[in-house]
Amino acid sequence: MRIFDPHIHMTSRTTDDYERMAAAGVRALVEPAFWLGQPRTSVGSFVDYFDSLIGWEPFRASQFGIRHHCTIALNPKEANDPRCREVLDVLPRYLLKDGVVAVGEIGYDSMTPAEDEVFAHQLALAAQHDLPALVHTPHRDKARGTLRTLDVVKESGIDPGRVVVDHLNEVTVGDVAGSGCWMGFSIYPETKMSPERMVAILAEYGPARMLVNSAADWGRSDPLLTLRTAEAMLDAGLSLDDVDRVLWRNPVEFYGQSGRLDLVGVDADEVQVGQTFEGNSILRGGS
């Protein structure tokens, strides 16, 4: 089984996680730029973070045979901090880089006027750079936030087939399905969305335009929930071809629209579970 995790925050994960993901069949991933928990007070903190998303993390992933890509943006939460507004000025230079396959995460956190402005600005940047967009939906007031998100996407004029609206659930999936946007689901250990609930949604809506991710980050999360969802799909009688479509071909199709996915040499079927990477220097930490 080959897995492409289309939304995972490896910056917050350990090297052991990379090792477990590789053993579970994860061969490629996309790491969206997001809120790191600690508020950033200057544009320099973002520049260093973006540089690590196109430099250090791809290197770390490569030690385990995993192809790393990223999305770049000013996240919705920090869009509200005037000290971070200058980040918008540095985005265009990152949106030209090879490993950057979308603008994201953008969208709403608390649905403030500042978030409106920054969201619309970044959708325009995505269109100008001919890149897809990864849109986060708020964890509070999700139904209203999702409808407002779809309105803003529509007003922007961007092709909905180049937008994924993420962190959906049973309440919000129908509206996004009808919009033509891609549907993203973050599978969590306890809350929000489980592998079994995801299978029920797939059974109802089918596999088209569906993306399943672990969204693993610095909170309680599990980078192997993509594999657990694949297993739940098979247990429920869905086919291996469905699994491959949702967990590999769909993310390849969506992010492939950037023209920058680099999967050459990621021969998913030939990588064996538990293999070692002889000849590569496994990371030994910062010492």
Candidates 26-34, 140-148, 198-206, 267-275; binding stretch for Zn ion (CB under 5 A): 26-34
Q: Which amino acid is at 218?
A: W
Candidates 30-38, 174-182, 242-250, 265-273; binding stretch for Zn ion (CB under 5 A): 30-38
Whether the Cβ atoms of residue 91 and residue 74 lie closer than 8 Å to each other: yes
Alpha-carbon span 6 to 29, nearest angstrom: 5
Candidates 34-42, 151-159, 200-208, 248-256; binding stretch for Zn ion (CB under 5 A): 34-42
Whether the Cβ atoms of residue 161 and residue 133 lie closer than 8 Å to each other: no
- Which one of residues 34, 46, 64, 248 is an interface residue with Zn ion (CB under 5 A)? 34
Least distance (Å) between residue 33 CB and Zn ion: 9
Residue nearest to Zn ion (CB): 34
Whether the Cβ atoms of residue 117 and residue 152 lie closer than 8 Å to each other: no
Alpha-carbon span 51 to 56, nearest angstrom: 8
Candidates 28-36, 42-50, 169-177, 266-274; binding stretch for Zn ion (CB under 5 A): 28-36
Least distance (Å) between residue 131 CB and Zn ion: 17
What part of residues 115-174 is at the interface with Zn ion (CB under 5 A)?
A: none
For Zn ion, the closer of residues 25 and 107 by Cβ is 107
Whether the Cβ atoms of residue 274 and residue 23 lie closer than 8 Å to each other: yes
Asked if residue 188 binds Zn ion (CB under 5 A), the reply is: no
Provide the token pair at 1: 């089984």
Alpha-carbon span 27 to 109, nearest angstrom: 31
Least distance (Å) between residue 238 CB and Zn ion: 26
Q: List, in sequence order, every beta strand (DSSP E) within 65-130.
A: 67-72, 100-107
For Zn ion, the closer of residues 17 and 242 by Cβ is 17
Candidates 27-35, 194-202, 225-233, 266-274; binding stretch for Zn ion (CB under 5 A): 27-35
Write the DSSP symbol of residue 97.
Answer: S
Least distance (Å) between residue 153 CB and Zn ion: 18
Least distance (Å) between residue 91 CB and Zn ion: 17
- Number of residues engaging Zn ion in binding (CB under 5 A): 1
For Zn ion, the closer of residues 1 and 103 by Cβ is 103
- CB atoms under 10 Å from CB of 278, counted, come to 6
Distances (CA, A) of 201 to 142, 174, 233: 17, 10, 11
The dihedral through the CA atoms of 15, 17, 23, 28 has a sign that is negative
Write the DSSP symbol of residue 215.
Answer: -
Least distance (Å) between residue 255 CB and Zn ion: 15
Instruction: Summarize as ranges the residues that interact with Zn ion (CB under 5 A).
Output: 34
